[in-house]
Structure 1
Amino acid sequence: MSSIDLTAIGAVVFDIDGVATDTARVHAAAWKHVLDGFLRGRGEEPFDIRSDYLRHVDGRARLDGLRAFLASRGLEVPDGSADDEPGQVSVHGLAGAKDAFFLEQVGKYGVAAFPQAVALLHELRRRGCRTAAATASRHGRTLVQGAGLAHLFDLIVDGHDAALMNLPGKPDPALYLEVARRLDLPPERTAIVERALAGIEAAHKGGFGTVIAVEDAADLAEVTVLGRVPRPV
């Protein structure tokens, strides 16, 4: 059982996809929808959620994840540019098609918050702990707002912010370190709640005081909150 000791931790940072919102599976399905056709044309095995998505794509910025996956298969594709049409055979084109399908699915079915995450957020805030959301997704704010969670976070930093600041993606800890900086807390007094392997690695690299690694949101029900954040004198 994991625990967060609020006598030592001043803020808890949540990843969004698959931790706070039920959207990791939508990302995975969108990648499979786009890449299966591309792979079929190359005589390759279909995109596999466990061996391909979780290992190479999950938790990373969209372009970084796609590049990592292509490299794992030894596939060379031109990088292209942001002007490429969605579906064009380039890194930007394939990523654009994935993004379009993801947004279509979110628009059609909405965004659901995990009740375990909502309960933990309420408990942390009741005990005086600040909370933040951090994600490689450029749609982070949209997802948080769509899930009705915006009021439970003091700060949201997403992939759009990271791009504006030219921050490297996970497993580099830059995104999480930027969140800690904005919270005016050192990493050792900041906890990270993560599911993706790249994000867990980033949290450890960044020297964060507590790293709660979960396989899925159900694990959040087992997280124990100890004490409360001391009030300023």
Structure 2
Amino acid sequence: MLGLRAVLFDLDGVITPTAEIHMHAWAKLFSAYLASRGDTSPYTDDDYFAHIDGRPRYDGVRAMLASRGIVLPEGSPSDAPELDTVCGLGNRKNTVFTAVLEEDGIAAYPGSLAFLDAVVAAGLDVAVVSSSKNAEVVLTAAGLRDRFDVVMDGVVAAREGIAGKPAPDTYVEAARLLGLTPRQCVVVEDAHSGVEAGRRGDFGLVLGVDRGIGAQVLLDAGADIVVDDLDEFIAPLAEAARTPRPDPADPQTPTDPHHDLSEDHA
């Protein structure tokens, strides 16, 4: 990791436990909606992980509806939450999410906050890359907005026409805004779609955080390593930062014309 230049963090489920609020909001939305249609197969957490987790909001609605063979009009992002359109359902979910966030607030995972401190202390740049259009609100509520110069979220992606996860485009754009290439960056994700984005973008390292989806699912999606909490990296990262690294300008250092320390992801 120390051979790379930046760490690109997903937000929900990686830095903050907002994934739990999102899961609650999605469950409330689809349990009621499917019941209203007479669907006898109940909505479950498996539906969330398979069709919604990590995707932009309306993409999640489309994927979930498609899994039940339901086709609705697309509508527009300005649709009222009461409308039975793709955008209307997405907006309905967001009203639940916003209400819970405003009422209960949010705090970062302690291990993730400590890991963020550790990578910054080690001299790496950081950015947030989230499919959520609530990223700014969540970061502000958690007291972390000033920690990130680059926040690539669902609002920016929609405005700039950047494809969401599992496409790698939002991560690639965040790297560009930091003045870096994907191979110089670490992606940290808890969602199958986010890990897939990191792998498809050929990033230097893809770290998975298992918040319930299962370590093997993240490994199969392309994660290089999976942990239960990011604090597992802190001690080895601190130790590595204290260890002198070879100077490529030192004539005593063996050279490899094909080896670029800035892109070393061992």
Q: Is the pair's TM-score, using the shorter chain for normalization, greater than 0.5?
A: yes
CA contact (8 A) 1:122 1:152 kept: no
Which residue identity does 2:100 align to in structure 1?
A: Q
CA contact (8 A) 2:12 2:130 kept: yes
CA drift of 1:82 comes to 2.4
The DSSP-based 3-state class of the residue aligned with 2:97 is helix
The residue number in structure 2 matching 1:203 is: 198
Q: How does 1:125-204 map to 2 (within 5 A)?
A: 125-204=120-199
Contact 1:121 1:152 in 2 (8 A): no
13-22 or 73-82: bigger deviation: 73-82
Matched residue, 2:58: 63
Structure showing greater Rg: 2
- Work out which of the residue numbers 67, 72, 83 in structure 2 matches 1:72: 67
1:221 alignment counterpart: 231
- CA deviation map 1:13-40 (0-9, x unaligned): 1000010011001011101111111101
Q: Is contact 2:112-2:229 (8 Å) kept?
A: no
**Deviation readout 1:51-105 (Å, 9 max, x if unpaired):** 1101110100000011011111111112122232103111111111101110011
- Report the equivalent of 1:46: 42
Q: Which has the higher contact order (CA 8 A, sep 6+)?
A: 1
Q: Aligned-pair distance for 1:218?
A: 4.4
CA distance in 2, matches of 1:218, 1:208: 21
Root-mean-square deviation (CA), in Å?
Answer: 1.9
Identity of aligned residues (%): 39
Contact 1:130 1:154 in 2 (8 A): no
Q: Distance in 2 between matches of 1:97 and 1:27?
A: 12
Higher mean Cα deviation, 99-108 or 70-79? Answer: 70-79
User: Which structure 2 residue ranges, 5 or more long, are not aligned?
Assistant: 212-226, 250-266
Counterpart of 2:231 in structure 1: which amino acid? A
Structure 1 Cα separation of the partners of residues 80 and 117 of structure 2? 42
Corresponding residue of 2:215? none
**TM-score of the pair, normalised by structure 1:** 0.92
Counterpart-to-counterpart distance in 2, 1:116 and 1:77? 41
**Structure 1, unpaired ranges of 5+:** none
Aligned length: 226
Helix, strand or coil at the partner of 1:227: helix
Q: Give the distance between the partners of 2:126 and 2:158, measured in 1 at CA.
A: 22
How far off its partner does 1:188 sit?
0.6
Q: Secondary structure at the match of 2:11?
A: coil
Where 1:101 maps in the other structure, the secondary structure is helix
Q: Distance in 2 between matches of 1:81 and 1:191?
A: 35
Residue 104 (str. 1) matches residue 89 (str. 2)? no
Please give the alpha-carbon distance, in whole angstroms, between the structure 2 residues aligned to 1:186 and 1:93: 37
| Alpha-carbon distance between aligned partners in 1 of 2:63 and 2:87, rounded to the nearest angstrom | 14
Find the aligned partners of 2:164 and 2:85 in 1 and give their Cα distance. Answer: 20
Moved more, 211-220 or 69-78: 211-220
